Structure formats: structure tokens, C-alpha cells
Structure 1
Amino acid sequence: MTHEPRRPFPPFTRESAAEKVRLAEDGWNSRDPEKVALAYTVDSQWRNRAEFANGYEEIVSFLTRKWNRELDYRLIKELWAFDGNRIAVRFAYEYHDDSGNWFRAYGNENWEFGDDGLMHHRYACINELPIKASERLFHWPLGRRPDGHPGLSDLGL
């Protein structure tokens, strides 16, 4: 599997870090594990909650399991901080399980990139909150969040 360099490249400016965050959000909202995994180095190391994934195959497997459980998944990411080749992000996503129970997950990620713009380390801390369907805030059609849709700060999250 060839992982092509991904713009923007470090060192990040506020604008390029925000662009990197939005590109990551767009990728994850595609819910395509193989496409998403191409944004990471072939030996990328992840900590996601209490699960660890190392390398392309484990990342694809993790994401496949995730999106098979987390149905109608919609995500918003927001830049928190950046420095050099690192970006800190906060995010929230909504989904339901196969019993129709809705959840909103809140989290923070720390990312570290190589010169090629591929992420080689991802550390995620996530908490979930059961919500009622009527409490959902993310209502766009599945896929990319529309440009005019409010972000996390706009939604008071």
C-alpha cells in the first residue's frame, strides 16, 4: 500500500492546521476505512480510548469495526492548538447503535506528522453520552459536513 504525501505539510500555520483538521473530518465522515487509513504512515501508532492500533492493516480493521457499530456516524472536528508538526483537536460525533440508541461522543486528539504530511502518531481520549434522538445536533446528509453547518463552538459544544 502506497501512502502519498498529504498537504498541507508541517510546519503548520493557523490556516494550514485548520485545513488539515477539516480534511481529516471530511475523511472520517466518508466512513471509508481504507481511504482514511491512507492519511497515516504505514507504521502509524494509535491510541484510541483503551485500544491500540499500529500500522495500516490494524487501522483499517479498527475503523471497519467502529463504523459497523457506530451507525449514521457524523463528526465535527475543531482545531484546538498547533505547533510545528503537531496539532491538537477537539471533536464530537453522533451515532446510533443497532438498537436505535443514540450517543454523542466528545474527545480530544493529539496528532504528530512527518515531513510528508502523513500522521505517524494519534492519541485520542473519548467520552460518550447517551442522548435522545430529539437531542441530536448533527443533521446533515451522511458524508461531508456542509460548509454552512455550525461547528462545535457555534453549537455550544
Structure 2
Amino acid sequence: MTRSGADLALSLLGGFRALVDAATAELARRGHDDVRPVHDFAMRAIAAGADSASELGRSLSISKQSAARTIAVLEERGYVAREPDPADARRKRLQVTELGLEVLRTGEEIFDELRAQWARKIGAADFEAFEAHLSALVGAQPVRFDTPGWLARGTSG
């Protein structure tokens, strides 16, 4: 049976969705039931230097207003905080809190566990070959921070 290019794209997206849904459910079982995938993208962008709503919006390819709402939720839940900017006392910079870093570390552990489950399903050697082929096709870089905005827009821009 010949499959289409669209089938490939949907299979890859389905794999991403299956991993993210399983990780989100496991994160909830481990006490973080208020974390959503976009929160992970946002905390990673903040940890990488997006320290304002404008910068976070640009990093995630979402509006400044959407970024501000995401920040408000993350602050309310204790995952990020606003800290005084050492270079400008009038400015507050976003920082991922210890709780936020714990969530990120726990999420990484869960994804490692899910990866191991997938490897057991098809065999370690086949899974390693699959990962190598996938890296050859899409590159070794992880998904970009702007994926939430890209998905919402539905364009490649």
C-alpha cells in the first residue's frame, strides 16, 4: 500500500501528539496537573532569554497579548516570576522559578521514559535507526520555540 506525503506529515504529527499527550498526563499524575504544552514552550523560551511579554511573543510567534496571558498564568502558578533587572531598576525581567525548573526537569524525565517505551515496542536497534533516519530528514535540532504560534497560524511564515 502506497501512502501519501500527507499521510507521512499526519503520522509525524500524530507521533508528536501521542508523546505530548502521554507526557502531559504523566506530569499531572506526578502533581503538575496545571501544565500545558504551551507552558513548556514558554518556560523554555524564558529560560533561553525571552524576559518580557514582547520577547516571549516573538519567540513563540504569538501576539504580545497572548504572551502576557501565558505569563500571567505561569506567574499565578509559580512557574515564572518577575525579577528586577540589574541593568535597569524600572524594568522587571521574567525568570523561570525553581518550581518551573522542576517541572521542566520532570517533563524531560517523562519524555526519556516514553522514548524508552517506544524503543521497547519496536526494538532498540530499529528505534535507533528510526531516530537516525528522522534526524537525517529533519535535522538534529529540537522543535523551535515558535511552534505554538506556527501551529495556530497554520502557515510556514
TM-score range for the pair, normalised by the shorter chain length = under 0.3
Q: Which TM-score applies when normalising by structure 2?
A: 0.26
Rg: which structure is higher?
A: 2
Counting strand residues as a fraction of each chain, which structure ranks higher? 1
Counting helix residues as a fraction of each chain, which structure ranks higher? 2
